[in-house]
Structure 1
Amino acid sequence: MKIHRKGSAEWAGGLKDGRGAISTQSGALSAYPYGFAARFEGQPGTNPEELIGAAHAGCFTMALSLILGEAGLTAEKMDTTAVVTLEQGEGGFSIPAIALTLKAKIPGADDATFQELAAKAKANCPVSKLLKAAEITLDAELLS
């Protein structure tokens, strides 16, 4: 089974003075603004790193819910934060790290079991797998 989901971005202008908008197929984001100031200067708007963080936190938390269910456990509450690090190095900017922080209330789970299941979810959620290695294809067309 293959499922395809779509996100899109529009951009006009240069790097620092340009303006962009990000949209998702679901409409959760619809022409939501992003740009240099939002990414590097803390101004309003979104940026690719926080979107990756939200995607990773959501994927990991859902994966853990599955794994907990397989172990006969159900979370009463799980809150996951993903901090995505963007840093400039010799070859330009890169994302060298994502730190997941999970706070959960899971009746019947002891700490050792919880740690084991959380590690399994981290290793096996699709976004974690993507960030390890992904085939990226590009079909680019220049419009006249």
Structure 2
Amino acid sequence: MSSTLISLFSCALAIDDDEDELSKDIRNSLGRTVFLEYLRCASAGHSHGVLPRGVRSVKRMIDRDPGRRWTLAELAEGGGTTSGHLIHLFKEHLGFTPFEYLWDQRHARALIMLKTSTLSIEQIAYRTGFQSSAHFSRAVKKRSGQSPKSLRS
């Protein structure tokens, strides 16, 4: 089992067993991440199941800095492919686009920051790559059903 997978499991187990929406959202985001990491680990020993280098590279880029305002051209260049081919590879191997992955990572980090930090909502919005605190609030409410302020309480 990879150290990343072990770390993700530890994070999931450390979340309070509350039934509040924020805890559920964090567990769901971690669950998706654990699943993707499991697939990556499971396929690592089989050359036909390994994620293409471009997908792995782009995932690493996004994971390192999900708050950055990435363009598709930058991601494709980092993955050593074209924009269209990168989208195709992500959909084929992961089931979603690079930007769906990016937004999932931003949302997961934002939820964790809301739960564990004392940063203002505006600071969290900025650090996780949202255009404004209003954009951040709309995105969080759409995804979790609650405003960032109510998720903090």
Q: TM tier, shorter chain?
A: under 0.3
Higher relative contact order (CA 8 A, sep 6+): 2
More strand by share: 1
More helix by share: 2
Greater Rg over alpha carbons, structure: 1
